[in-house]
């Protein structure tokens, strides 16, 4: 009898403990999934990095409205890589320690290449949104690499085609950022010209660091070479690329100024002003041009970004947001956050209903891209038919 009374006295605490345990499990199940984001948030590329981060936050809001990932909300944890490889490595280590399930990164190729092995060794899925250098997909730094932005090799073929077939340029000059991205981009353009059998003379080649903003000496040298086309390769969209555009106009650079693929967003034109009129470029996304303008997923993303940040997204913002969208689709489909199965689902896989439409990745993790040539008129990007 005493034993029964003791058990009865113990029952309420046991029941309470069981209830608390169930509540704790439910709370754990609903705990946010942390998504790491690393872009430059300061310095010359700071404005663009901030915009990409905001676009990812807008996409997270859209995904959370639809139930999140595995029934849990997404929480964005962002860091500033300061466009510096060593800082990027430090920030990646911080996010790994914070318990993120995936890291979306990459404005500068040297920073991405430095971070890749650190993130891979930690067993965290690494998605490169912007950085273009071809070695990013070599498998050396990250055997499960994924990239959304077009590669230097893809871009080079597009610019080479314009130089050879549309411009018919025989005298070509290069203003090239002296790093993995810039040198790789120039090499790809020259390989593209060779593949087309186009006969040309490289009349000038000026190299510069990512942080440079004064190109007057370089412009003088290029101007003296009398090029038909000058290709500007500069990923510093907050400072360097607008400076090149303005100083090319001020120096009365002869021939046509052509920007490397994806280096002229509306923010660049806003800084460069009227000097950007007549510039030629190419890109893979425009928010208000078909097939994007009527895409329901893109319209929702654009509306959410404008609502939250009063910004109309550019290509870079779309790539950041699509990175998160694709990862969320793969994780929800597979019902896991594990790095390897999610990466293998994306690499070589296809996804429907993204903000960039129905998309497919190559087996090496590269998103397949469609290019649109454009010019700038009245400070507006005008896509060529």
User: Could you tell me the mean pLDDT of each successive run of 10 residues in the chain, 385 residues long?
Assistant: 45 45 52 98 93 98 98 98 98 98 96 98 98 93 96 93 97 97 96 97 98 97 98 94 98 97 91 97 91 96 98 95 98 98 98 97 96 94 88
Q: Which fold has domain 33-150+290-360?
A: Rossmann fold (3.40.50)
Could you tell me which residues come within 8 angstroms of residue 87 by beta carbon, excluding any fewer than 6 positions away? 80, 81, 111
Three-state helix/strand/coil letters over the chain: CHHHHHHHHHHHHHHHHHHHHHHHHHHHHCCCEEEEEEECCCCCCHHHHHHHHHHHHHHHHHHHHCCCECCECEEEEEEECCCCHHHHHHHHHHHHHCCCCEEEECCCHHHHHHHHHHHHHCCCEEEECCCCCHHHHCCCCCCCCEECCCCHHHHHHHHHHHHHHHHCCCEEEEEEECCHHHHHHHHHHHHHHHHCCCCCEEEEEEEECCCCCCCHHHHHHHHHHCCCEEEEECCCCCCHHHHHHHHHHHCCCCCEEEECCCCCCHHHHHHHHHHHCCCEEEECCCCCCCCCCCCHHHHHHHHHHHHHHCCCCCHHHHHHHHHHHHHHHHHHHHCCCCHHHHHHHHCCCEEEEECCEEEEECCCCEECCCCEEEEEECCEEEECC
pLDDT of the residue at 350 = 98
Q: Which fold has domain 153-283?
A: Rossmann fold (3.40.50)
Alpha-carbon distance values, 223 to 159, 247, 274, 277, 285 (Å): 21, 11, 20, 19, 32
CATH topology agreement for domains 33-150+290-360 and 153-283: yes
> How many whole angstroms separate alpha carbon 32 and alpha carbon 27?
10
pLDDT of the residue at 72 = 98
pLDDT of the residue at 276 = 97
Alpha-carbon distance values, 115 to 27, 136, 165, 348 (Å): 33, 10, 39, 23
pLDDT of the residue at 128 = 98
Mean predicted lDDT score pLDDT of the chain: 92
**Six-digit token pair at 198?**
């186009």
The gap from C-alpha 302 to its chain's centroid, in whole angstroms, comes to 17
Residue boundaries of the structural domains of the chain: 33-150+290-360, 153-283
The length of the chain is 385
- What predicted TM-score, i.e. pTM, was given to this entire model? 0.81
Report phi then psi at 263, rounded to 5: -110, 5
Q: In this predicted model, what pLDDT tens digit does every residue of 121-169 receive, in sequence order?
A: 999 999 999 999 989 999 999 999 999 999 888 999 999 999 999 999 9
pLDDT of the residue at 29 = 55
């Amino acid at each position: 009898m005493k034993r029964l009374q003791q058990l009865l006295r113990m029952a309420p605490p046991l029941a309470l403990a069981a209830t608390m345990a169930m509540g704790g499990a439910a709370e754990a199940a609903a705990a946010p999934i942390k998504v790491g984001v690393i872009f430059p948030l300061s310095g010359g590329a700071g404005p663009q990095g901030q915009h990409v981060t905001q676009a990812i936050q807008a996409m997270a809001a859209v995904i959370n409205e639809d139930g999140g990932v595995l029934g849990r909300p997404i929480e964005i944890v962002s860091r500033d890589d300061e466009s510096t490889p060593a800082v990027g490595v430090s920030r990646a280590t911080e996010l790994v320690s914070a318990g993120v399930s995936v890291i979306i990164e990459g404005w500068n190729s040297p920073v991405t290449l430095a971070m890749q092995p650190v993130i891979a060794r930690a067993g965290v899925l690494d998605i490169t949104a912007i950085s273009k250098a071809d070695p990013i997909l070599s498998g050396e730094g990250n055997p499960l690499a994924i990239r959304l932005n077009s590669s230097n090799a893809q871009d080079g073929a597009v610019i080479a085609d314009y130089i050879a077939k549309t411009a018919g340029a025989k005298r070509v000059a290069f203003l090239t950022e002296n790093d993995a991205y810039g040198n790789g981009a120039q090499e790809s353009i020259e390989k593209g010209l060779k593949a087309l059998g186009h006969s040309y003379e490289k009349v000038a080649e000026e190299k510069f660091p990512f942080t440079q903003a004064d190109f007057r000496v370089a412009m003088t040298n290029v101007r003296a070479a009398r090029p038909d086309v000058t290709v500007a390769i500069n990923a510093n969209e907050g400072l360097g690329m607008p400076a090149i555009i303005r100083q090319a106009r001020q120096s009365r650079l002869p021939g046509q100024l052509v920007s490397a693929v994806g280096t002229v967003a509306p923010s660049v034109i806003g800084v460069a002003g009227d000097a950007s009129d007549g510039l030629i470029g190419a890109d893979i996304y425009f928010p208000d041009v078909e097939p994007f303008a009527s895409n329901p997923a893109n319209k929702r993303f654009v509306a959410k970004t404008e609502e939250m940040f009063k910004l109309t997204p550019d290509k870079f913002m779309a790539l950041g947001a699509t990175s998160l969208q694709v990862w969320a689709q793969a994780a929800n489909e597979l019902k896991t956050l594990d790095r390897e199965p999610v990466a293998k689902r994306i690499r070589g896989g296809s996804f429907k209903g993204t903000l960039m439409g129905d998309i497919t990745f190559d087996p090496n993790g590269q998103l397949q891209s469609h290019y649109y040539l454009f010019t700038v008129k009245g400070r507006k990007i005008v896509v060529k038919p």
